[in-house]
Amino acid sequence: MNTKKFVITSIVVFLVMFALDWAFHGWYMADQYLALGDVLRPAEAMETYFLSMLIGQILIAFGFTYIFIKGYEGKGCAEGIRFGLIVGIAFGIGPSMINYAVYPLTGTIMLSYFIFYPIECMIMGAVAATVYKS
């Protein structure tokens, strides 16, 4: 494994994930989350936990990139998209279904998660494949 490429790829993957998550959760899903009432923290309270969220996203980006690189075959962007689809199903849709059973989430929120997480992970995979190869 090329450590320098790993770190650079992880940072780029993190930036892409952060931007996609902000657009999806902070903008697109904002009204859906407001409708949940007291289930989620108020926006002001979430700001105090921003560092925790940021560290979590960094850990996800580095873990995602590390696992991708360990199986890296150099087959281009399609390899990253395929990897991202698998991760999106396993770690996006799977946990979302568990959360649906535990928390009072709406069907609309769940459908949005089912669509968003695999797409986000496929984009992250494409980015990882492209950046690590270069």
Digit-coded pLDDT (tens) for 73-109: 989 999 999 999 999 999 999 999 999 999 999 999 9
> What is the Cα–Cα distance from 44 to 22, expressed in whole angstroms?
16
Six-digit token string for 76: 């281009």
Six-digit token string for 124: 């992250």
Digit-coded pLDDT (tens) for 27-66: 999 999 988 888 888 878 888 999 999 999 999 999 999 9
> What is the Cα–Cα distance from 119 to 88, expressed in whole angstroms?
7
What pTM, to 2 d.p., does this model score?
0.92
Six-digit token string for 32: 């859906």
